[in-house]
Amino acid sequence: MPTDSRLAGPALHLADSLWQDAALKFGNTAGAVLGFLGVLLAVFFAAGRATGRFSRPLAVVLMLGPAAVLLLTGLVVPLLRTVYLSFYDADAAKFVGGKNYGWAATSSPIHEVLLNTLLWLVIAPIAATGLGLLLALMVDRMRGQAVYKSLVFMPMAVSLVAASIIFKLVYESRGAGQNQVGLLSQLAVALGWDDPPNWILSQPLNNFLLMGVMVWVQTGFAMVVLSAAIKAIPDEITEAARLDGATGVRLFLHVTVPMIRTTLVVVLTTIMIITLKAFDIVRTMTGGNFGTQVLANEMYSQSFEQYNTGRGSALAVILFLAVAPLVVYNIALLRKERATR
Amino acid sequence: MSAEPTFDKASGSGVGTGSGGASGSGAGRASGSGGAARPDLPPAKAIRRAFSSPLASALVIAVTVLWTIPTVGLLVTSLRPKEDVVSSGWWEAFVHPDLGLENYRSVLFDNSFGTSGGLMPYLVNSIAIAIPATVFPLVLAAMAAYALAWVRFKGSDAVFFLIFALQVVPLQMSLVPLLRLFSGGAHLGSVTVIPALNLKDTYLPVWLTHTMFALPLAIFLLHNFIAQLPRDLMEAAVVDGASHFKIFRSIVLPLSAPALASFAIFQFLWVWNDLLVALTFAGGNPTVAPITSRLAQLSGSDSSHWELLSAGAFLSMIVPLAVFFALQRYFVRGLLAGSVKG
């Protein structure tokens, strides 16, 4: 706990008001949760007394109703409304046909955005999955593997904002002659590069440095899932392959990889979906400047910084069209994988 | 294991073993198999042996160190005095150790970053947002999943499939319309369906948006679990005259506790770490915005104050890291099951 006694007069007053503010907010939150549960309990108690032929429809309406209403207002209607808005102008006042999509297809800043997004979509997932697979294979027989797995998996727990700040410090750059405070610059200096560039500003390198954050976060995920899949391969299969003379890397390429193919693709598509939708890294590290903009962040900027609802909605629709097939494929694979186990 | 306490989806991909490997029990198993030097190795181990050499071990250790150093750097920076942070890299702290919690006090309570009260209000908001945004969807999804699985009605399969299909919708598709709904209400022509609600400076838009977006996945996962509860148990309760509400409360909820826990942990972390919903519906407003939203803004505008930014970032990481290390097993399951969410 912070020690209030160390704070001087006015600061003490401020600290007091901070705790009061916190108490008020927690009170409101507890009230909301308890009120929510209380209303549900009361409704359940009252509705539970109903008998006869109405009891069943009543149960369906009361139990499915709230979720259905929220899904309709939160997802179904907005989905349609965003598509509708994408054909209107910046203020959603005038119908402009496909103009917003035309802008997305022809304007050169958006070409850069789409190219960056494509690079992210290909490089980050493949790097994370590949590295994860390699680690999954190598970590398995090591002593204390739990420690290594935990440490590599840990970045997955923290927010992309925190991850971005962690790497912003790594990529931090100072002018020549000053002490470097970023690890990457220091490493460059130690290797004899006296005046390393300002990493975040150097295009196109900065794009790959930003992708590095995503790889840092997702590699542990890939490793844990693939490690489980490798352990689940039946012994008889590898035994048979070994009797046929397969060993080492050949055994891996021709037996292990085909056996975990589905899981491998599930991991790859999962990271692709996350990569496409994530705007946190770009927003936190560069704000989309210096040639690092991606689709998800451009959508946010157009909608909530430029207040151009039409363009923002058109970009959201493009994002949806890119993500949807990946999600469908991903879920289909997951179901197939579950059926075979 | 008939009552495997996990999501169907997650256990299907063999995640149980994976998460075990990352927890304490996994360490015991690993050293056990490593110590047993049998002349004829089981074949699965033969593959691993092909990849396990001193070189492989060195590579794993190198990657682990590489993966850990950035976080250590942030932690060390957050503990150093301002003058040191400005003048030298964090690794110098190992040579001239001078560490303390002053930055944390400053970033939490002082008017640092030009905000009165520092980051403390934002941290409070994070908690005040994450708990209801976990409880609401959890309860509502469990109710819906029970209704779809056990109170069958005409078209219940179709409804379930529709909800399942809604998982493909990215959050981005809803932001603009939802923001308009919360600020201006809903109108059909000149008829006001929902009046303009004055929700600014309340948590309600953030809670509601998180709840709405959690539902498709939550209903899908909990349905998988609840649908597999023993039919005999349900039928016996019906014979005893219990209503659906009673069955839900006294049979379904207690038996689904493991699945509910997995989803709750996943959802809590998802909300805690979220930036998109926070930035859209709360912005940087200290009355409602969570710490992620404020940190993202500070990172863009005020990154010269590394001693404060690093302390702020680490503060935001304490809760998820505690959850991660304490509940790793559940964490992995929930995460895998919901990793394409949003």
Query: How close B296 comes to chain A (CA, Å)?
Result: 5
The 10 Å Cβ neighbour count of residue B91 is 14
**Residue B146 domain boundaries:** 127-337
Minimum Cα–Cα distance from B92: chain A residue: A181
Q: Please, which pLDDT band fits residue B2 given cuts at 50, 70 and 90?
A: very low
Decide if pLDDT at B19 tops 50: no
Indicate yes or no: CB of A233 within 8 angstroms of CB of B22.
no
- Let me know if residue B92 belongs to a domain: no
Q: Determine contact, residues B290/B129, Cβ cutoff 8 Å.
A: yes
Contacts of B136 in chain A (CB under 8 A): 36
Which of A67, A98, A129 corresponds to the end of one domain? A98
Are both A26 and A58 inside the same structural domain?
A: yes
- Let me know if residue B289 belongs to a domain: yes
Q: Please, which pLDDT band fits residue A75 given cuts at 50, 70 and 90?
A: very high
Probe site for chain B from A14, A49, A63 (most B CB atoms < 10 A): A63
Are both A111 and A144 inside the same structural domain?
A: yes
CA separation, residue B116 to residues A24, A243, B112, B250 (Å):
17, 72, 7, 48
Are both A69 and A128 inside the same structural domain?
A: no
Rounded Cα gap, residues A100 and A311, in angstroms: 5
Indicate yes or no: CB of B60 within 8 angstroms of CB of A166.
no
Q: What is the pLDDT of residues A78-133, one digit of tens each?
A: 999 999 999 999 988 899 999 999 999 999 889 999 999 999 999 999 999 999 99
Q: What is the pLDDT of residues B43-89, one digit of tens each?
A: 556 655 655 578 888 999 999 999 999 999 999 999 999 888 888 89
Decide if pLDDT at A334 tops 90: no
Q: Please, which pLDDT band fits residue B152 given cuts at 50, 70 and 90?
A: confident
Q: Which among A15, A227, A277 is the nearest to B21, CB-wise?
A: A227
Are both A52 and A151 inside the same structural domain?
A: no
- Let me know if residue B177 belongs to a domain: yes
Rounded Cα gap, residues A227 and A153, in angstroms: 12
Collapsing DSSP states into helix, strand and coil, what is residue B266?
helix
Q: Which residue's structure tokens are 């915005």? A: B289
Q: Please, which pLDDT band fits residue B252 given cuts at 50, 70 and 90?
A: very high
Q: Please, which pLDDT band fits residue A179 given cuts at 50, 70 and 90?
A: confident
Indicate yes or no: CB of B13 within 8 angstroms of CB of A263.
yes
- Let me know if residue B113 belongs to a domain: no
Range in A65-74, A89-98, B195-204 with the lowest mean pLDDT: B195-204
Indicate yes or no: CB of B128 within 8 angstroms of CB of A26.
yes
- Let me know if residue B202 belongs to a domain: yes
Rounded Cα gap, residues A263 and A251, in angstroms: 18
Q: Which has more confidence, A169 or A50?
A: A169
What's the CATH number where B304 sits? 1.10.3720.10
What ipTM score was computed for the predicted complex, to two decimals? 0.90
Count the domains in chain B. Answer: 1
CB pairs under 8 A between A and B: 447
Range in A160-174, B35-49, B167-181, B201-215 with the lowest mean pLDDT: B35-49
Are both A34 and A67 inside the same structural domain?
A: yes
pLDDT of residue B195: 76
Decide if pLDDT at B272 tops 90: yes
pLDDT of residue B20: 34
Indicate yes or no: CB of A29 within 8 angstroms of CB of B132.
yes
Probe site for chain A from B40, B48, B274, B303 (most A CB atoms < 10 A): B48
Contacts of B310 in chain A (CB under 8 A): 165, 169
Minimum Cα–Cα distance from A216: chain B residue: B67
List helix spans (H) across chain B: 8-12, 15-21, 24-35, 43-51, 54-79, 82-87, 102-109, 120-130, 132-150, 156-165, 172-184, 204-226, 231-239, 244-247, 253-255, 257-273, 276-281, 291-301, 306-326, 328-337
Are both A259 and A319 inside the same structural domain?
A: yes
Decide if pLDDT at B17 tops 50: no
- Let me know if residue B44 belongs to a domain: no
Q: Determine contact, residues B274/B144, Cβ cutoff 8 Å.
A: no
Indicate yes or no: CB of A59 within 8 angstroms of CB of B110.
no
Tell me if chain A has a CB within 8 Å of the CB of B143: yes
Decide if pLDDT at B202 tops 60: yes
pLDDT of residue B242: 87
What's the CATH number where A163 sits? 1.10.3720.10
Indicate yes or no: CB of B144 within 8 angstroms of CB of A11.
no
CA separation, residue B166 to residues B46, B156, B162, B338 (Å):
44, 16, 6, 14
Probe site for chain A from B17, B140, B208, B281 (most A CB atoms < 10 A): B140
Q: In the predicted model, what is the mean pLDDT of residues A179-193?
A: 90
Are both A162 and A310 inside the same structural domain?
A: yes
Indicate yes or no: CB of A169 within 8 angstroms of CB of B178.
no
Which of A98, A116, A148 corresponds to the end of one domain? A98
Indicate yes or no: CB of B143 within 8 angstroms of CB of A67.
yes
How buried is residue A36: exposed, middle or buried, by Cβ count under 10 Å (0-12/13-18/19+)? Answer: middle
Query: How close A287 comes to chain B (CA, Å)?
Result: 7
Q: Which residue's structure tokens are 């409304």? A: A81
Average pLDDT over chain A, rounded to an integer = 89
Which of A82, A98, A114 corresponds to the end of one domain? A98
Q: Which residue's structure tokens are 């936190």? A: A284
pLDDT of residue B18: 34
Are both A257 and A120 inside the same structural domain?
A: yes
Indicate yes or no: CB of B339 within 8 angstroms of CB of A232.
no
- Let me know if residue B285 belongs to a domain: yes
Are both A75 and A184 inside the same structural domain?
A: no
Going by their DSSP bridges, the two strands B186-188 and B191-194 should be labelled as antiparallel
- Let me know if residue B204 belongs to a domain: yes
Query: How close B103 comes to chain A (CA, Å)?
Result: 12
**Residue A65 domain boundaries:** 4-98
Count the domains in chain A. Answer: 2
Contacts of B151 in chain A (CB under 8 A): 56, 59-60, 63
Are both A52 and A109 inside the same structural domain?
A: no
Q: What is the pLDDT of residues A288-316, one digit of tens each?
A: 999 999 999 999 999 999 999 999 999 99
Indicate yes or no: CB of A155 within 8 angstroms of CB of B71.
yes
